[in-house]
Amino acid sequence: MDPITIDGAYGEGGGQVVRSVVALSLVTGRAVRIENIRAGRPKQGLMRQHLTAVQAAAEVGRARVEGDEIGSRALTFRPATVKPGNYSFHVGTAGSATLVLQTVLPALLMAEAPSKIILEGGTHNPWAPPFDFLDKTFFPLVNRMGPHVRAELSRYGFYPAGGGKFTVWIKPAAALTGFDLLDRGEITSHRARAIVANLPRHIAEREMRTIAGKTNWEKRCFAVEEVTDAAGPGNIVLIELESPHVTEVFSGFGRHGVRAERVAADVLKEAREYEEANVPVGPHLADQLMLPLGVSAYQNVPTAGQVGGAFRTLSLSTHARTHLDVLRQMLEIKTDVIEGDESCIVKLGSG
């Protein structure tokens, strides 16, 4: 059978197209060809982290691959059989190890046996979900779908040095049960944490003072953490907002020439926009939830429970809309976006 051809220049035109298409190729068993890879980026073609993701997927799915090299603008991926087991993937740069995980995770969620994955590379960089987001926000929702995923961070990897490491254990399910996430309920807990690696502690302290001065959160809601074994310097501010149905994590990274107070204020602004919108799903989680809910709709296994699902979120970004179109093309499922005044409902499947 000829591979499905996907235009990598479509929509946002970034690396997410490559990762999602390859991930869905593993799930469906369908060969794919991606052209014009990362045509929407100044540096076009596959970069190291994208290549690592493709190679990881090829190892898990025993795939035959053409075009798997740095700078390649076209890729053909022909999966065979997904094989669970113990894997170790090393990005080799500060490229995101969390994004490599997300390329192989969907197929392993429904494999015939458990898997363990050790990933090395960037765990905290500005252009990917940090480990904390996966651990506190994404994995608990995946676990609602039948599998059980847990993770442990053993070493931080900040941009640009990388060098981080974490381990993920996956207990699969026969199929993914969908769910609806339309109501958030009241925020029951606020937590803020500032982490510095190989940088002065006062940076993190100033970040926490900034957030404390702009909120009425109790003192126990704030924490400062110093990391001494990272490969290079780094700083991240994390805000967790817990509600009955979801815990959202917002993050901001320290940058050269940007004051700590500004970093903290920007993260707090994003968290407040989410809280005031009264939606359960923030913009980054919206992008992440689409794939597993889409796979649930694709499987169409009534015995698994609900098929597909829906969630309410803020207006979709170009990145998220591109992802939704990739799901529609690869899985041939019905998708719908119901626009509201300040929010929208995303539906995947016919339910």
- Residue 198's DSSP bridge partners are none
Taking the C-alpha atoms of residue 325 and residue 203, their distance in angstroms, rounded to an integer, is 41
For residue 203, the surrounding DSSP H or E stretch is helix 201-214
Q: Which of 105, 101, 109, 85 is nearest to 172 (CA)?
A: 109
With H, G, I as helix, E, B as strand and everything else as coil, classify residue 123: coil
Give whole-number Cα distances, 330 to 62, 119, 275, 290, 325, in Å. Answer: 20, 27, 34, 13, 9
The set of residues, in sequence order, having a beta carbon less than 8 Å from that of 113 and lying 6+ positions away, is: 84, 85, 172
Say which of 124, 190, 284, 319 is annotated catalytic: 319
HSE, side-chain direction, 13 A CA sphere, residue 133: 27
Q: Is 319 a catalytic residue?
A: yes
> Backbone dihedral region of 45: left (phi > 0), alpha (psi from -120 to 50 degrees) or beta?
left
Taking the C-alpha atoms of residue 54 and residue 74, their distance in angstroms, rounded to an integer, is 12
DSSP letter for 124, please. B
Decide: 192 and 221 in contact? Cβ < 8 Å: yes
The set of residues, in sequence order, having a beta carbon less than 8 Å from that of 307 and lying 6+ positions away, is: 178, 296, 297, 299, 300, 301, 349, 350, 351
Q: Which two structure tokens, joined as six digits, stand for 302?
A: 């009534």
Q: Which of 196, 198, 216 is nearest to 207 (CA)?
A: 196
Q: Active-site positions?
A: 319
